[in-house]
Amino acid sequence: MATSKAISPFRLSSLLRLQKDPALALELFRNPNPNHDPKKPFRYSLLSYDLIITKLGRAKMFDPMEQVLHQLKQETRFTVPEVLFCVVISFYGRARLPARALQTFESIPSFRCKQTIKSVNTLLNALLNCGQYKKMREILSGMNEYGKPDACTYNILINACCVGGDIEQARTMFDEMLRNGVRPTVVTFGTLINGLCLNGEIQEALKLKEDMTRDFKLKPNVFLYTTLLKGLCQIGELSWAFRIKDEMVRNKVKLDSAVYNTLIDALFKVGRKEEALVVMEEMKKSGCKPDLVTCNVMISEYCREKNFEEAYKILEQTEIFKPDVVNYNVIIGSLCREGKSIEASELFQDMPRRGCAPDVVSYRTLFDGLCNCMHFKEAAFILDEMMFKGYAPLSRSINKFICQLCREGDFQLLSAVMTSLGNGNFLYEDIWKIAVSMTCSKEKPSEFELFDTLVVP
């Protein structure tokens, strides 16, 4: 009987690259040749390790990934590159696991690999993602051991200052960068300009952009321009925002949907609807397709005008984009605010047919709308469905609903609602207090009536 040909290290790498399921890839990696001679261990290539570690990290299968790393540590046939550890540290940073990111960084020398500023920068960025500012400072205090800070280092530190709202410290880091002879990049200026805009210092941001082009001969990218556009639109400087847009065109920077959406939204908010529609047409002619943000901007405007028919039409334009749950929630919320909770309920019920499942915001919004319109039976049904789906209702909404039922004297529905809340583990002490106190304030209900209506089986 013929036996299948053994998988070579090269072939294993090819198979791992093609395998989409990380669990199956791990099984293949662990046992590439089930019938192999145990006296001849499989000689894994560095590429195979790289591929499986990356697949497991992306799938957040961290324990198996660590097992593979431990196996890699035993290899002596090749040197493990620092970039592989940078990838692992980044996975932990995105997963908000700062301790594991730090542990990986500290383990690099045990793999016969040297830590450099590259892995330090990766760790700093991971710690920033996790909000570990104190730990970042500790790493900085010993940075000279790994090399001199480069532009990437300062970009991360400036971003950390901006995220933390300390724009003065961000300026200090920028000045230190210049003093140490490190040339800023477009990312450096974009990060600092974004921080200035968030801090409301638009004039300073514009001046920094001029310094960047004049003194450092750097061209702003689309992110930097969009940041300035948003900042100008937020303070109502639309004329200046359009000058920035014109500058982008002159500098042959391609305008993306974020630029157009920012301008369209700003024009709508100040009542310049016709100009907004002109910008939208320009957007289409430029080959920049409207996206979900465009959809949401248009829906928000039509809802503000109480023109729900036009808002519905946007939801039907599935050939342009597929509306998401945010788009539906905007309309549901607007309908509820206008007292049209039944129409909101109909749209809510139609969402699954349209390929969009309601989320917790959808349920909470509709529940509040039905309560405000005194549609208590419908509200109770939505509440029950919400808890069945595993979504937690807001306590203030439940308290208000219980109060409304008590005022209406609908003890039968009150009993059903409290039973449902009890089954969903949402029957808190304050709900009992509200129900008992308001029921007792009625015109002398009998003890049996109270017991029958409030006791949850």
* Amino acid at the residue 445: P
Handedness of CA 438, 384, 419, 394 (dihedral sign): negative
Non-local (6+) Cβ contacts of 103 within 8 A are none
Handedness of CA 446, 452, 454, 455 (dihedral sign): positive
Tokens of 152: 């990437």
Size of the chain, expressed as the number of residues it contains: 457
* Amino acid at the residue 69: L
DSSP code of residue 78: S
* Amino acid at the residue 209: K
Non-local (6+) Cβ contacts of 305 within 8 A are none
* pLDDT score at 141: 85
Tokens of 44: 């894994």
DSSP code of residue 36: S
Give the predicted TM-score (pTM) of the model: 0.75
Q: Are 310 and 301 in contact (CB under 8 A)?
A: no
* pLDDT score at 294: 85
Tokens of 3: 């036996």
Q: What 3-state DSSP class applies to 206?
A: helix
Q: How far is CA 266 from CA 158, 227, 247, 258, 271, in A?
A: 29, 14, 19, 12, 9
CB atoms inside a 10 Å sphere around CB 358 = 23
* pLDDT score at 355: 83
Only one residue has tokens 């003065």, namely 168
Domains of the chain are 290-393 (1.25.40.10), 400-457 (no CATH)
Tokens of 256: 């993306």
CB atoms inside a 10 Å sphere around CB 253 = 18
Only one residue has tokens 């321009």, namely 225
Mean pLDDT by 10 residues, the chain (457 residues): 70 93 94 77 92 97 96 91 97 96 96 94 96 90 88 95 92 94 95 93 94 94 93 92 93 91 91 90 87 86 88 76 86 92 92 88 93 91 90 86 81 81 74 64 48 48
Tokens of 354: 């349209």
Q: What 3-state DSSP class applies to 184?
A: coil
* pLDDT score at 407: 80
Non-local (6+) Cβ contacts of 252 within 8 A are none
Q: How far is CA 256 from CA 21, 212, 234, 260, in A?
A: 34, 22, 19, 7
